[in-house]
Amino acid sequence: MEVSRNLAQQPEAIQRWFEKLLAKIQELGILHEDMWNMDETGCRIGVAKNQYVYTRHGKQIFIPHSNNRELISLVECCSANGDIIEPMIIIKASTILEKWVIDLPDDYLINVSDSGYSNDETSLDWIKHFNRMTRHRTQGTWRLLLLDGYGSYHIREFIKYAERNRIQLFGSPPYTTHFLQVLDVGCFQPLKWYHGRMLDWAARTGSKDISKDDFLATIH
């Protein structure tokens, strides 16, 4: 794996990827406004580790590691033109509760999975959401969608749906997310930093439990 990682990150490999990307853009005549990039990240709801904290009222409380380490995933998408679409939020659960969606904007997509990460079903829901949110903005004939190599975003149904709706999928090279994926670098890293600050504030104001409801209330 380490050899594959090193080879994938070589300047020559990155250059070849960009050349293939440019060739596909030119082949289909894809306009700048119709280029989109999507990525997924996971956020742990609770406090990161066992710790004692002093609240702002001077009270010492213990926050255990196991208090709430549930995962919520976010799937975000932005365009080369600076536009964004509403995210998909994936909650580790079996059913969607009304209280999770009642205060969210109408176009947010809420989904559930056993792991809290994307699976084949949620990925197919997302590409339909992407099409619905971007087709009226399309300036040319084709849309480009940059995405990583995760399996659920490359299943047959996902690919066929994209083809039928003139969405050209283009996967990023493996092991390059940390420096090629603009959402990971420019969006998710700051998001996780501010999420950590929110957890710290909650602990210091005396809260020992951060729920899904609390997280969803801060995400929009």
Residue 84 belongs to a domain: yes
CATH of residue 171: 3.30.420
Residue located via tokens 């009222």? 57
Residue 112 belongs to a domain: yes
Residue 8 belongs to a domain: no
CA distances (Å), origin 54, targets 40, 197, 198, 200? 34, 15, 15, 11
Residue 4 belongs to a domain: no
Burial 50-78 (b: 16+ CB within 10 A, else e): eeebeeeeeeeeebeeeebebbbbbbbbb
Q: Whole domain around residue 107: which residue ranges?
A: 20-218
36: left (phi over 0), alpha (psi -120 to 50) or beta: beta
Residue 148 belongs to a domain: yes
The pLDDT profile of the chain, 220 residues, written as one tens digit per residue, is 554 555 556 788 888 989 999 999 999 999 999 999 998 888 777 655 555 444 455 555 555 544 456 788 999 999 999 999 999 999 999 999 999 888 888 899 999 999 998 999 999 999 999 999 999 999 999 999 999 877 778 889 999 999 999 999 998 877 666 666 667 766 767 677 666 776 676 666 666 567 787 777 777 6
Structural domains counted in the chain: 1
Give which of 77, 209, 46 is closest to 143, Cα–Cα: 77
d(CA 137, CA 153): 23
Q: What sign results for the dihedral spanned by CA atoms 157, 163, 165, 169?
A: positive
Task: Please state at what angle helix 156-164 crosses helix 120-134, rounded to 10 degrees.
Answer: 10
Q: Spell out where 88-202 has E strands.
A: 88-92, 109-113, 143-147, 167-171
Residue 99 belongs to a domain: yes
Residue 7 belongs to a domain: no
Give which of 171, 77, 172, 89 is closest to 132, Cα–Cα: 77
Residue 9 belongs to a domain: no
d(CA 90, CA 115): 9
